A and B are shown apart, each in its own frame.
Chain A
Amino acid sequence: AQSVTQLDSHVSVSEGTPVLLRCNYSSSYSPSLFWYVQHPNKGLQLLLKYTSAATLVKGINGFEAEFKKSETSFHLTKPSAHMSDAAEYFCVVSSGTYKYIFGTGTRLKVLA
């Protein structure tokens, strides 16, 4: 069975400070892991994905995520937040088949 837990429903950071959005997963198989971003009133856009080639994954807009098997985590980070990063972020786990399990989302607020 698979599951994903986003540990924070809301995160607030000041512009220019680091961002950390936390995601823990559970999977019986080697998982695929994804982070999606959803800006207000928009669809979901893929930020990055873990493909087992490297544990540190770089995505768009300066975001990164590190796959830590021992901690079953896939936290999303960015060194310096920008106002345009304010959005909802979803962590997703898949076993590589047609099933995708979504986290409940983390709303990121960026303060000026």
Chain B
Amino acid sequence: NAGVTQTPKFRILKIGQSMTLQCTQDMNHNYMYWYRQDPGMGLKLIYYSVGAGITDKGEVPNGYNVSRSTTEDFPLRLELAAPSQTSVYFCASSWNPLEDKPYNEQFFGPGTRLTVL
């Protein structure tokens, strides 16, 4: 049981380039999330998904896109990278519908540190 995995761990992009941050979970969770964390700050929600084929915007969605074709995967796409997107990106997941748990914590991946120059 690997939990939530993210790739890559680190990446440097040039302004205008694009990339996809990968996130996979093996806990059969319905809910998945992308957050960004700027230096010394808390987490801001970019996008979330409540199930395969269903996604919605969070607080700071501009400049990003997501898709959810399977329960396990929730990739985050950056188009036309900008210096303002320099951040650490965390993927998280929660809620296995087969488990009878009324309170469900989020499980976080180790993060992707992205620098845009």
Contacts and interface: CB of A to CB of B under 8 A. Distances in A.
Most chain A CB neighbours (cut-off 10 Å) among B41, B90, B105, B110: B105
Interface class of chain A by DSSP: strand
Interface of A: 32, 34, 36, 42-46, 49-52, 90, 92, 94, 96, 98, 100, 102-105
Per CB-CB distance, the 4 closest pairs between chain A and chain B, nearest first, are A32-B103, A44-B108, A98-B31, A51-B103
B75 interface: no
Nearest to B33: A100
B102 interface: yes
Nearest to B51: A98
Given A49-B103, A98-B31, A43 B110 contact: yes
23 contacts: A32-B102, A36-B108, A42-B111, A43-B108, A44-B92, A44-B106, A45-B108, A46-B107, A49-B105, A50-B103, A51-B102, A90-B43, A94-B104, A96-B104, A98-B30, A98-B31, A98-B50, A100-B33, A100-B94, A100-B106, A103-B42, A104-B42, A105-B42
A10 to B, nearest CB: 11
Contacts of B43: 44, 90, 102
Nearest to A50: B103
B48 interface: yes
Given A50-B103, A52-B103, 13 more contacts: A32-B105, A44-B92, A44-B108, A46-B106, A46-B107, A51-B103, A90-B42, A94-B103, A98-B31, A98-B48, A102-B42, A103-B42, A105-B42
Contacts, number: 54
Given A98-B50, A102-B43, A34 B105 contact: yes
B110 A42 contact: yes
B48 to A, nearest CB: 7
B95 interface: yes
A98 B103 contact: no
Interface string B81-117: 0000000001010110000001111111111000000
B85 to A, nearest CB: 19
A104 B44 CA distance: 10
Contacts of A49: 103, 105
